[in-house]
Amino acid sequence: MTPAPFPAARMRRLRRTNALREMVQENGLSTRDLIWPVFIRDGEGIEEPISSLPGVNRLSLDRLMPAAEKAHRLGIPAICLFPYTDASLRTETCEEAWNPENLTNRAIRALKAEFPELMVMTDIALDPYNANGHDGFVVNGEIVNDETVNALVKMGLAQAEAGADILGPSDMMDGRIGALRLALEEVGHRDVAILSYAAKFASAFYGPFRDAVGASGRLVGDKATYQINPANASEALACVARDLSEGADMVMVKPGMPYLDICRAVKDRFARPTFAYQVSGEYAMLMAAAQNGWLDGDKVMLESMMAFKRAGCDGVLTYFAPRIAAALHGQG
């Protein structure tokens, strides 16, 4: 549909007042769109800043609880846990990943006991527990697929057992969604949802996250043999199709802002719940510019969220979640 020629059509007529602009606004933003990723660590009374993620702290479990309560009260429906693991718990065999008493599993239980309505999401990958920082086992320099999938299933089952509502496999091994779904059915966890990191690219935007979980400097090589080449869109769509066919309930595109074309394509093609992860490097980029006075932090934060909505996303994992929720409640 082409608009009438000028002056019959004047696009500015509907931009004249705020009320008119709101009447014709195509997309909206709500706290319901947010998933808050949180870094947790052992100890007590700890809120440890992460220098490459200004405003984000690693929280001990006693500090996680009030933070989660506040997020919940602001209307954020879900929180996603990422553990910072001490060097002593990182091994080549990664047993800590499926220890029922590991930090993540203790956090899940504590959160579900206090705030049953707050959805708890987890990350499934071996990198927080791996001595070499990879998401899978490394054997003779190779990241081995099938052995890793077996370990990831154990890890996911332990999280489901602890009460996780949503499992988030972020490892990009082949066959992990099907294996996890089957195992969950077998043990009776029929209603645990899987939000697959389906279109996850081998991105340099994950840098600050690796600082946050203590993986920087540890990673030998890169993740290019399992994460998607940033040049490829068709391959990302094939990964999404595959994960949905194996039993993923929701899918994610990651990173977010540089990959909005993928978000749109995924939503159009599959019409399933589609999430984007505005990753650590995206957050760091906006925060750094805002701290320098080069950008208006609140405005670019909200504009970036609207861009995700416009691209078809049903929700966004973002470190800005509590700040966005506060802004939407007029407390920004």
Place of tokens 């959160």: 111
Site residues for ligand PBG, 168-207, by CB under 6 A, read: 170-171, 206
Considering the rule CB under 6 A, would residue 85 count as an interface residue with ligand PBG? no
Residue of 129, 128, 132 whose CA lies nearest to 140 = 132
CA-based angle 154:158:159, to the nearest 5? 120
Considering the rule CB under 6 A, would residue 165 count as an interface residue with ligand PBG? no
Distance in angstroms (rounded) separating the CA atoms of residues 23 and 15? 10
Sign of CA dihedral 314, 319, 322, 324: negative
Considering the rule CB under 6 A, would residue 60 count as an interface residue with ligand PBG? no
Cβ proximity to ligand PBG: between 142 and 331 the closer is: 142
CB 321 within 8 A of CB 40: no
Minimum separation from the CB atom of position 125 to ligand PBG (A): 3
Q: Select which of 154, 223, 254, 309 is catalytic.
A: 254
From 18-26, 119-127, 295-303, 322-330, span contacting ligand PBG (CB under 6 A): 119-127
Within the chain, strands assigned E span 34-41, 47-50, 53-60, 78-83, 119-124, 138-139, 142-143, 166-169, 193-200, 250-254, 274-278, 315-318
CA atoms within 13 A on the CB side of 318: 30
Considering the rule CB under 6 A, would residue 137 count as an interface residue with ligand PBG? no
Q: Is 254 a catalytic residue?
A: yes
Contact residue for ligand PBG among 127, 165, 211, 249 (CB under 6 A): 127
Minimum separation from the CB atom of position 54 to ligand PBG (A): 14
Considering the rule CB under 6 A, would residue 129 count as an interface residue with ligand PBG? no
Q: Which two tokens stand for residue 179?
A: 């294996």
Considering the rule CB under 6 A, would residue 38 count as an interface residue with ligand PBG? no
From 7-15, 28-36, 122-130, 307-315, span contacting ligand PBG (CB under 6 A): 122-130
Considering the rule CB under 6 A, would residue 279 count as an interface residue with ligand PBG? yes
Considering the rule CB under 6 A, would residue 275 count as an interface residue with ligand PBG? no
Contact residue for ligand PBG among 52, 104, 105, 280 (CB under 6 A): 280
Q: How many residues line the site for ligand PBG (CB under 6 A)?
A: 12
22 exposure class (CB count in 10 Å sphere: 0-12, 13-18, 19+):
exposed
In the bound state, the residue with its beta carbon closest to ligand PBG is 209
Residue of 253, 236, 248, 251 whose CA lies nearest to 308 = 253
Q: Which two tokens stand for residue 226?
A: 């399992």
Considering the rule CB under 6 A, would residue 125 count as an interface residue with ligand PBG? yes
Q: Is 70 a catalytic residue?
A: no
Cβ proximity to ligand PBG: between 255 and 312 the closer is: 255
Site residues for ligand PBG, 217-236, by CB under 6 A, read: 223
Cβ proximity to ligand PBG: between 125 and 244 the closer is: 125
Sign of CA dihedral 22, 27, 31, 32: positive
Beta carbons within 8 Å of 257's beta carbon, 6+ residues apart: 278, 282, 304, 307, 308
Cβ proximity to ligand PBG: between 59 and 279 the closer is: 279
Q: In 3-state terms, what secondary structure has residue 49?
A: strand
| Binding pattern for the stretch 17-36 against ligand PBG, x by CB under 6 A and - elsewhere | --------------------
Considering the rule CB under 6 A, would residue 123 count as an interface residue with ligand PBG? yes
Query: At 273, which amino acid appears?
Result: P
Contact residue for ligand PBG among 137, 201, 209, 259 (CB under 6 A): 209
Q: Under the rule (CB under 6 A), what is the footprint of ligand PBG?
A: 123, 125, 127, 135, 170-171, 206, 209-210, 223, 279-280
Give the residue numbers annotated as catalytic, written as ranges: 200, 254
